[in-house]
Amino acid sequence: MSENLPFIGQGEAWQEWLAAIGSERMHHAWLLAGQRGLGKRAFARTAAAELVRLPGQSRPDFAAHPDIHVLEALPANEDEAKKKAEGKPWQAKRSISVDQVREMIRRLATKPTLGDRRAIVIDPADELEKSAVNALLKALEEPPAGTFFLLVTHQPGRLLPTVRSRCRVLRFAALGEAELDAVIRRDMPESDALTRQAAIRAAQGSPGIALSFVENDLGGIHDLMLQILREGDRDYHLRGALADEMGARPTRGRQLAALELARTVVAGELTLASRAGQIALIEAHGTLMRLSAQAPTYNFDAGLLIMEIGGLLASAAMPREAARP
């Protein structure tokens, strides 16, 4: 794989994308599917730039290219828009609106500006309003010549079957330990070996989880989550310790990172559990997935959120508690 790609791993997906670009009849719509944190965002933007690259020229900057359009949730308000413009962390609206999709469709009435191809990146397609999905479906049914759609999705099942059926799926695999270590070394060069090892164990193949683990110092939180999940917490002692470890006023980034870490911890325990335990873990995982989808756009109380997470982990441990003599 070329060294100037902004993501590590996913070589098979990248080669599939290059082969499609070089084919005579490239499919017009693609689902970039996989769990959060696998690099789909960077992949989609790089893939879009590769798609519109002119013969004999280097891959263009996707952010400045007139034939690459990215649909993502807009800032929640004017203050958040200012934060985004200043390069600060900002809060987005809950969804990608139908007006955004309609504006994109209006642009499709014109031909591409620089070449004969145009890329539309929707990131993530999971956040499209229902009416926005219906508007998008019309464009997918009758795409203009030279227009290609890349739909980033963490949960393909949330999309309409009619949307999924019109897309070719490009699946993203979990990274190996060496690849995760390379990601952490690249993006967090100050991290020590022990922290990297802990992050790799916790990440379950997700570079996004690994990086947030290091950035937010989640080692203590991870250990407590595992202890609750494996031992239960009948007297709420461990949940209290989890809240203390999270801190009285954690940053929003730390809250989101802890929530995603909890989902990963539960997923990692599935293969170790009994059948009864698996059912409880699956239920907890589903609830954590819903919380993860809501958290970026809802203002959860930090204390209540971490107690909710602890309660879900304790509930998932109960069948195994009951099985003990």
- 3-class secondary structure per residue, the chain: CCCCCCCCCCHHHHHHHHHHHHCCCCCCEEEEECCCCCCHHHHHHHHHHHHHCCCCCCCCCHHHCCCEEEECCCECCHHHHHHHHCCCCCCECCCECHHHHHHHHHHCCCCCCCCCCEEEEECCHHHECHHHHHHHHHHHHCCCCCEEEEEEECCHHHCCHHHHCCCEEEECCCCCHHHHHHHHHHHCCCCCHHHHHHHHHHHCCCHHHHHHHHHCCCHHHHHHHHHHHHHCCCCCHHHHHHHHHHCCCCCHHHHHHHHHHHHHHHHHHHHHCCHHHHHHHHHHHHHHHHHHHHCCCCCCCHHHHHHHHHHHHHHHHHHHHHHCC
* Average confidence (pLDDT) over 167-183: 94
CB 207 within 8 A of CB 183: yes
Given pLDDT bands bounded at 50, 70 and 90, which one contains residue 321?
very low
Q: What pLDDT shows up at residue 194?
A: 93
Indicate if the pLDDT at residue 270 is higher than 80. Answer: yes
Find the mean pLDDT for residues 203-209: 93
| For residues 246-265, average pLDDT | 90
* Average pLDDT across the chain, whole number: 90
How many Cα neighbours within 13 Å face the side chain of 102?
Answer: 6
Averaged pLDDT, 139-162: 92
Task: Identify the band that residue 102 occupies on the pLDDT scale cut at 50, 70 and 90.
Answer: very high
Task: Look at residue 2 in the predicted model and tell me its pLDDT.
Answer: 45
Query: Which pLDDT band, with edges at 50, 70 and 90, does 291 fall under?
Result: confident
pLDDT digit string, tens, across residues 2-42: 457 888 889 899 999 999 999 988 999 999 999 888 999 99
Query: How sure is the predictor about 324, in pLDDT bands with cuts at 50, 70 and 90?
Result: very low
User: pLDDT-derived band of residue 50, with 50, 70 and 90 as boundaries?
Assistant: very high
> pLDDT confidence of 158, banded at 50, 70, 90?
confident
CB atoms near residue 91 (< 10 Å): 17
pLDDT at position 320 over 70: no
Please give the pLDDT value at position 319.
54
pLDDT of residue 1: 42
pTM here is: 0.82
